[in-house]
């Protein structure tokens, strides 16, 4: 296995964890889209940091997949 495989696996695990952390409600139904409350699109503080980290990990994940296939 080359380094890109390890990067892909690591970023996939971290990305899954970050996505699960970012649910928009307290209950399981809200996390699965069953929430009927108002959606706030302004991100502040920790929420903004988690969102930016998720975007960065998506880019790392995609880049490692592409470089792993090319190499």
* pLDDT by residue, tens only, the chain of 71 residues: 789 899 999 999 999 999 888 876 544 445 555 555 556 667 788 888 888 999 999 999 999 999 999 88
Domain assignment present for residue 62? The answer is: yes
Domain assignment present for residue 51? The answer is: yes
Write out the residue range of the structural domain in which residue 59 sits.
Answer: 1-12+47-71
Domain assignment present for residue 58? The answer is: yes
CB atoms within 10 A of CB 35: 15
Domain assignment present for residue 71? The answer is: yes
Q: Which residues of 4-26 are buried (b: 16+ CB within 10 A; e: fewer)?
A: beebbeebeeebeebeeeeeeee
Q: What is the pTM of this model?
A: 0.69
Domain assignment present for residue 26? The answer is: no
Domain assignment present for residue 34? The answer is: no
Query: How many domains, the chain?
Result: 1
Domain assignment present for residue 69? The answer is: yes
């Amino acid at each position: 296995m080359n380094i890109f495989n390890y990067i892909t696996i690591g970023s996939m695990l971290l990305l899954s964890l970050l996505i699960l952390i970012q649910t928009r409600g307290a209950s399981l139904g809200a996390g699965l889209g069953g929430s009927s409350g108002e959606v706030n699109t302004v991100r502040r503080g920790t929420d903004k940091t988690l969102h930016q980290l998720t975007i960065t990990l998506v880019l790392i994940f995609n880049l490692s997949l592409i470089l792993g296939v090319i190499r």
